Structure 1
Amino acid sequence: MSADDEFPLGWVRVCATSELLPGEIQVTWDGDTPIMVVNLDGELHALEDRCTHEDFELSAGPLDGDQIECTLHGARFDLRSGEALCAPAYAPVRKFPVRVADGAVWTRDDR
């Protein structure tokens, strides 16, 4: 399989592994779903790139350790679990699977 092909079952290529260094975020789309993949010291985590409070892109916000803050109203989310950590968000962000293969990072909306 070439790096530009998709895995079976709807896997979407996010980027080359060299383009997602520790502390960085890459965003891709799976259909209508924006998915951000973040590298936390070598651990890759994928979450829906939408704040559950106001449907704003989370990837625009700052990273703070294993958390991200929505720049719109300050809601914070755990990047490992998607859990909402403070108001005004109460619902978690959807979490998605991540794979590394052929030098690339892959994810999918598995709902």
Structure 2
Amino acid sequence: MPGFKVEVPHPLGQEEAASRVKSLLEHLRGRFDGQVKDMQQTWTEEDVMQFSFKTAGLTIKGEMDVQPNSVVVSGDLPFAAMLFKGRIESSIKEELAKCLSEPA
């Protein structure tokens, strides 16, 4: 299955970045309610999250790794979603960059 990968640098440190990412995920869950189904997220370690969700009949799975100086999101895309790969990656990057660059 084809994949995607986005890395967004940040100056926050791992703990603050993880806290902000968790808040962002809750915000996005509410914002896309009705478009996204069966959203699951499991923090396998304090700063690594496995996720999956369905949208438009497609299942997206991946991992988010909050590192001391960056956040890396990677995952698999169904072939039917490959036309939107660039848009998906740029949307993830934009949301993360905004979340991680705002003053505390």
Give TM-score scaled by structure 2 length.
Answer: 0.30
Give TM-score scaled by structure 1 length.
Answer: 0.29
Instruction: Give the structure with the higher percent helix.
Output: 2
Q: Which has the higher contact order (CA 8 A, sep 6+)?
A: 2
